[in-house]
Amino acid sequence: MQMEAINQIVILAVFGLLLMIFLGPPVVLCIIYFSDRRQKQHAVLRNFPILGRLRYLLEHLGPEFRQYLFDGDTEGKPFTREGYRSIVLAGKYMKTLISFGSKRDFEEPGWYVRNAMLPTLLRDMSVDQEPSISTRRYEIQNEGLFTRKEHLVDAEVAPWTLRDEFPLTLGAGLAKPWVLRGLVGMSAMSYGALGRNAIQAFSQGLSMAGGTWLNTGEGGLSEHHLLGGGDILFQIGPGLFGVRSDGGQWSWDAFERQAAIEQVRGFELKFHQGAKIRGGHVEGSKVTPEIAAIRGVQPWQPINSPNRFPMFHSLDDALDHVARMRERGGKPVGLKMVIGGPGFLDELATRMAQRGDGPDWITVDGGEGGSGATYQEMADGMGLPIRSGIVEADDALRRHGVRERVRLIASGKLSSSDRIALALALGADAVTIARGLMISVGCIQAQRCHSNTCPVGVATTDERLMQALVVEEKKWRVLNYVVTLRAGLTSLAAAAGLRSPTQFERRHAVYRDAFGRIYGADELFPPPGATPG
């Protein structure tokens, strides 16, 4: 009797399941159909219920499909598939080797690095190849259609850092000048815009690479920045995070406390950023209690910085402040800005020449630079790209006789050695990178940086999502990427007949136009005071 009851229950359960399978979807579709027909927001759904929803599905998944299935190797934005792939290969495998030839369209206008008739032998380059750096890189065991079997192996790599023969010093004459041993550093990325694990991976990887530095971004200094023990550039934005009083004003006491930290090698006042000529923005969902404490704000509330420093009403105010920072901190101070057009820096350079003081460097950020959050119209339409900006900045400083005491740092999508070489040739003394480093720790260009939903744990403070980024593995990729860039830059300098990447000049950059005509950058942009011909 009991078995009969059980059998009946089983039969009813199976019958109910089959009923749901066969009748459930039609019922759901009917509900969706009539709901779509009655709603008044979406015209396409009123005329084409259910079917119209495919449009929204494809619209939502379009960027992912294009990136992986439809974009060619040299297509796609912000980074092409080939550009993205080259960063990943450098970080994972320390390789930039290709086969069969370049995928560049050589019929299109573009920039090239001038090679010499007799290149410099690598053994004669004025860069350090010893002592080697211990790292770990991936080695592929087997790669199939759906799987790749690989493992980390120990490796030794040359540092490719600068020797004293070609020094690059920031703040010469100060109590604590900053001597750069490499020309590639990390651009500004704040803790809060990025998650804890990403900052720790950068801190440790850059420190192990040596000859480079970590820029805190305008979000202040945290224990995660200090973790690796390497050089740190403390950036200060108009929000004054990390150097502000309880009321949000500039605090000299707070500044001096930051300046006393040995790892902090210099300070940078951020006037502008490439993707946004406005103050920074962080969504409230990213502002954890820890980040709020570092910045001196309320947790879980959106942060909007002013679009300029409230205490600067003139360029003289800014230069007075820089001079006082250098005096009280004893460390070099720079300015970060975007060049807006011809003559943009003339007034600043004029005042620097008249006063005899000013910043130790200017970071020129190109309009193609990235950001965790900005507005479309500003990212697309304001600020010169880096190659135009760096030439304009270099010329302005030369016109007013202050170039010799002010270094120029270029920033803006300089994620490969050839791009870096061209920036150096056009006037930069060093470069900084942001998105290239993000890709090295796992960024997949999901473009959700502002939403706190980064799927790979880079640009998020969500604890669940952050766990995807394993610091102990990603720190090696940071190290490998930076060292591979320096190795490539050294090879390009050698091919150009130079002994150091610091020797690149405008004559080493060549432009080919749409008709095949070629021009040296020194011909297109003659430096002020240069003799024609």
CATH code of 122-494, in short, is 3.20.20.70
Average pLDDT over residues 310-338: 97
277 pLDDT above the threshold of 90: no
Given pLDDT bands bounded at 50, 70 and 90, which one contains residue 19?
Answer: low
Chain centroid offset of residue 81 CA = 17
Residue 58: in which H helix or E strand, if any? helix 53-65
Q: Please state which of the ranges 41-45, 161-165, 443-447, 466-470 shows the lowest mean pLDDT.
A: 41-45
The pair phi, psi for residue 375, each rounded to 5°, is -110, 145
Sequence spans of domains, the chain: 2-70, 122-494
pLDDT at 6: 66
458 in Cβ contact with 437 (< 8 Å): no
Taking the CA atoms of residue 50, residue 55, residue 61 and residue 64 in that order, the dihedral angle to the nearest 10 degrees is 150
Rg of the chain taking only CA atoms, in angstroms: 27
Q: For 270-338, what is the HEC assignment?
A: ECCECCECCCCEECHHHCCHHHHHHHCCCCCCCEECCCCCCCCCCHHHHHHHHHHHHHHHCCCEEEEEC
Report the distance separating Cα 10 and Cα 5, nearest Å.
9
Nearest to 508 by CA among 116, 107, 102: 116
Average pLDDT over residues 50-63: 73
509 in Cβ contact with 137 (< 8 Å): no
Average pLDDT over residues 477-493: 98
pLDDT at 288: 87
Compute the half-sphere exposure of residue 529: CA atoms within 13 Å on the CB side of its CA: 9
pLDDT at 15: 66
pLDDT tens readout for residues 251-261: 999 999 999 99
pLDDT tens readout for residues 201-246: 999 999 999 999 999 999 999 999 999 999 999 999 999 999 999 8
pLDDT tens readout for residues 378-401: 777 788 999 999 999 999 999 999
20 pLDDT above the threshold of 70: no
Cβ neighbours of residue 515 closer than 8 Å, sequence gap 6 or more: none
Taking the CA atoms of residue 465, residue 466, residue 469 and residue 475 in that order, the dihedral angle to the nearest 10 degrees is 160
Determine what percent of the chain is predicted with pLDDT higher than 90. Answer: 65
pTM above 0.75, yes or no: yes
Rounded to a whole number of angstroms, the distance between the first and last alpha carbons of the chain is 109
- Helix and strand numbers (H, E) in the chain are 17, 19
pLDDT at 76: 72
pLDDT at 7: 66
Mean per-residue pLDDT over the chain, rounded:
89
pLDDT tens readout for residues 124-165: 999 999 999 999 999 988 877 777 789 999 999 999 999 999
Given pLDDT bands bounded at 50, 70 and 90, which one contains residue 52?
Answer: confident
Burial class (CB in 10 A: 0-12, 13-18, 19+), 6: exposed
80's tokens? 């092409």
